[in-house]
Chain A
Amino acid sequence: ETGVTQSPTHLIKTRGQQVTLRCSSQSGHNTVSWYQQALGQGPQFIFQYYREEENGRGNFPPRFSGLQFPNYSSELNVNALELDDSALYLCASSLAGVSGYGYTFGSGTRLTVV
């Protein structure tokens, strides 16, 4: 059973640029969620994808967007990067339809915007 893998592990971008982060879900999981964790804070929910559609969204602007692919992997895209977007971005996979099922997190992508 493979876990959740994220790429890249670290990334440096310039303000105004666009970035794409990738996530492969754990084997057998069909739902992917993305979280943003600023330094010293708990993770904040960005959005969730199920059956290749957005299935819930947190308080993040439209320049944060995502995709889920038929193999359940996912991408997080951020346009017009701002300095405050610097954070650890976490992907978590889970199995929809199973009450109380847990989430498996990846190790995250550390994004620095300069």
Chain B
Amino acid sequence: DAKTTQPPSMDCAEGRAANLPCNHSTISGNEYVYWYRQIHSQGPQYIIHGLKNNETNEMASLIITEDRKSSTLILPHATLRDTAVYYCIVRVDKEYGNKLVFGAGTILRVKS
């Protein structure tokens, strides 16, 4: 299974962009990259996902390198409520189904 590597923690000033890196050098060609976040041990919340192209939605942007071995999640204007654990995840598809392979995540602390 492909695995992801993320820095254990990052700080960001409120109102500034938060750039969260992720390495997934063993990703296969048809495996998607997903980003979720988790606040106070609630259920993970979907942020964004992509395969090859950069993606943007109302929450964030996802930049995937051309070789697909790494990606960056960008929160354009971080707020205190964005403080959470952010998971970069590879979705592994098999004949029998699919699963999300979580890493340890990055604790993002947004500070005023």
* Partner among B43, B46, B91 whose Cβ is within 8 Å of the Cβ of A90: B43
Using an 8 Å CB-CB cutoff, how does the interface string of B78-112 with A read, 1 for contact, 0 for none?
00000000010001001011111111110000000
Using an 8 Å CB-CB cutoff, how does the interface string of A4-24 with B read, 1 for contact, 0 for none?
100000000000000000000
B41 x A108 contact (CB < 8 A): yes
Give A contacts to B, CB under 8 Å.
4, 31, 33, 35, 37, 41-45, 48, 50, 55-56, 58, 88, 90, 92, 96, 100, 102-108, 110
Classify the secondary structure of A's interface with B.
strand
How large, as a class, is the contact surface on chain B? 20 to 34
Q: Give the CA-CA distance A105 to B87 in the complex, in Å.
A: 14
A55 x B96 contact (CB < 8 A): yes
Residues of A within 8 A of B104 (CB): 41-42
B46 x A103 contact (CB < 8 A): yes
Q: Give the CA-CA distance A42 to B41 in the complex, in Å.
A: 10
Using an 8 Å CB-CB cutoff, how does the interface string of B39-73 with A read, 1 for contact, 0 for none?
00111111001010000000000000000000000
A48 x B98 contact (CB < 8 A): yes
